């Protein structure tokens, strides 16, 4: 049985052997597993905290002297119409001294009392935001109703024609907020994966080159197979990790007040995975080239600077671009890998636009792999010092 397994392994393509080695060595590495588990816990914790915040109700105690009891009662009754998460309890006190004592001893959150020209809400030392908002709204409505009755009319008549409504060309405000948040997650995950896996890929290339192990490997398999195995192995790991994060995020989101948006996020998420795959392959190949141009670990910062700058452009471009600039960037590789998924999330994208953008990104990835493979092969075995791009391109095979 073991002989058959060894025979099958001998007949496998070299790139597949390298891919398996990259995946197995990393997926059994404790730092990789702990890092993934930590990120999963971070995502789950953030979603859990968000759900708790959304479902959390707030209680407030409002102190009122005898002349303010009627208004305080109206505030307590009208609070649910202004803020459904706030419950107001009335605390009747005899006079100003009793009200101040209730605030000092934390028996009340605020004290309502009349002043010249209106009402005043006094708290101990900090502003009660939710309570203040409710009090302002209810007091205004109550006083307006009393004034209208005194003038022989109604509040509705006084407010006729003053209503302001809102509308959106696409979706609604809550949907737009969710799209912005998920778009940020898409951009961050791409940047994080490309940077972490790219640096590790480049470092492994340098280690093999510096220890001269690559010369032994080159005698056994073609260098293009070594490059393909490294790129595919790291791509597989990055996609696996990405899928774990996305599944945890979508499942966690289904337990929050935003669960109704989960079905609508499934399509953009699938598109993001496709754009991530094409964009990551291109960048992974460039990271391998950055490693092959260096002769020691200290050289990596210099050889990877252009690539790092490109990733920063992608990150900040994905977050800040909007309007016509965003539309144009969504078709320009490799920035399109993060910009087009954000446009899909926002809605209003024609069906052919993601297909064209993904096709252009795939072409860019293919060209990058072809150029990167030539640079990688010609720079990898040069150990006399840091190799420039011109030297690598013109070097003999």
Q: Which long-range contacts (CB under 8 A, 24 or more apart) does 214-222 make?
A: 214/380, 214/381, 215/381, 218/380, 218/381, 220/14, 221/14, 221/17, 221/18, 222/14
Q: Quote the mean pLDDT of the chain.
A: 85
Could you report the per-residue pLDDT of 216-237, keeping only the tens digit for each?
A: 888 888 888 999 999 999 999 9
Task: From residue 281, give the alpha-carbon distance in Å to each of 39, 121, 198, 235, 271.
Answer: 23, 61, 10, 7, 16
Query: What's the token pair of residue 383?
Result: 């150990």
So what's the pLDDT on residue 257? Answer: 76
Highest mean pLDDT among 179-188, 217-226, 334-343: 334-343
Q: Return the bridge partners of 60, or none.
A: 88
Highest mean pLDDT among 255-259, 293-297, 347-351, 364-368: 364-368
So what's the pLDDT on residue 9? Answer: 52
Sign of CA dihedral 328, 330, 336, 342: positive
So what's the pLDDT on residue 168? Answer: 45
DSSP 54-107: HH--EEEEEEE-GGGHHHHHHHHHHHHHH-TTEEEEEEE-SSHHHHHHHHHTTS
So what's the pLDDT on residue 87? Answer: 82
Q: Going by C-beta distance under 8 Å and a sequence separation of 6 or more, which residues neighbour residue 28? A: none
So what's the pLDDT on residue 289? Answer: 92
Query: Shortest CA distance to 294 belongs to which of 283, 309, 284, 305?
Result: 305
Spatial separation of the C-alpha atoms in residues 90 and 39, rounded to whole Å: 45
Could you report the per-residue pLDDT of 57-112, keeping only the tens digit for each?
A: 678 888 888 888 888 888 888 877 877 778 888 888 888 888 888 888 888 888 88
**DSSP-derived 3-state class of residue 110:** strand
User: How far does the chain reach from its first CA to its final CA, in angstroms?
Assistant: 41
So what's the pLDDT on residue 169? Answer: 42
* pLDDT > 90: percent of the chain: 32
Are the C-beta atoms of 14 and 221 separated by less than 8 Å? yes
So what's the pLDDT on residue 1? Answer: 45
Could you report the per-residue pLDDT of 242-299, keeping only the tens digit for each?
A: 999 999 999 888 888 778 888 888 899 999 999 999 999 999 999 999 999 988 888 8
154 vs 340, residue with greater confidence: 340
Question: What are the domain boundaries of the chain?
Answer: 13-50+172-394, 57-159
**DSSP-derived 3-state class of residue 36:** helix
Supply the CATH classification number for the domain 57-159.
3.40.190.10
- Mean pLDDT over 38-56 rounds to 79
Sign of CA dihedral 16, 17, 20, 25: negative
201 vs 167, residue with greater confidence: 201
So what's the pLDDT on residue 31? Answer: 87
Are the C-beta atoms of 284 and 201 separated by less than 8 Å? yes
So what's the pLDDT on residue 55? Answer: 60
């Amino acid at each position: 049985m073991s002989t058959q397994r060894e025979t099958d392994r001998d007949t496998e393509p070299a790139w597949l052997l390298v891919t398996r080695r990259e995946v197995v060595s990393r997926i059994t590495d404790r730092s990789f597993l702990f890092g993934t588990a930590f990120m999963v816990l971070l995502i789950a914790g953030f979603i859990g905290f968000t759900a708790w915040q959304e479902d959390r109700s707030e209680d407030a105690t409002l102190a009122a002297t005898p002349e303010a009891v009627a208004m305080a009662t109206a505030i307590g009754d009208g609070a649910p119409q202004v803020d459904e998460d706030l419950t107001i309890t009335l605390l009747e006190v005899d006079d100003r001294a009793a009200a101040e004592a209730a605030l000092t001893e934390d028996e009340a959150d605020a004290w309502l009392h009349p002043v010249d020209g209106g009402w005043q809400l006094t708290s101990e030392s900090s502003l009660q935001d939710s309570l203040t908002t409710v009090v302002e709204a209810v007091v205004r409505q109550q006083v307006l109703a009393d004034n209208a009755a005194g003038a022989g009319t109604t509040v509705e008549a006084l407010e006729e024609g003053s209503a302001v409504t809102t509308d959106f060309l696409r979706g609604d405000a809550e949907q737009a907020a969710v799209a912005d948040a998920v778009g940020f997650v898409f951009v961050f995950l791409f940047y994080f994966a490309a940077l972490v896996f790219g640096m590790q890929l480049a470092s492994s290339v340098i280690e093999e080159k510096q220890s001269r192990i690559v010369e032994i490997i080159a005698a056994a398999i073609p260098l293009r197979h070594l490059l393909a195995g490294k790129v595919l192995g790291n791509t597989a790991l990055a996609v696996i990790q990405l899928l774990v994060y996305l599944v945890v995020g979508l499942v966690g989101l289904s337990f929050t007040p935003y669960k109704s948006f989960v079905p609508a996020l499934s399509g953009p998420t699938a598109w993001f995975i496709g754009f991530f795959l094409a964009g990551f392959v291109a960048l992974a190949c460039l990271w391998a080239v950055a490693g092959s141009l260096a002769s020691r670990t200290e050289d990596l910062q210099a050889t990877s600077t252009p690539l790092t700058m490109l990733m920063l452009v992608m990150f900040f471009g994905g977050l800040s671009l909007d309007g016509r600039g965003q539309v144009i960037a969504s078709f320009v590789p490799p920035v399109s890998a993060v910009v087009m998924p954000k446009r899909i999330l926002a809605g209003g994208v024609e069906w052919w636009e993601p297909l064209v953008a993904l096709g252009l990104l795939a072409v860019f990835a293919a060209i990058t792999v072809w150029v990167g493979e030539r640079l990688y092969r010609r720079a990898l075995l040069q150990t006399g010092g840091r190799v420039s791009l011109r030297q690598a391109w013109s070097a003999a095979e």
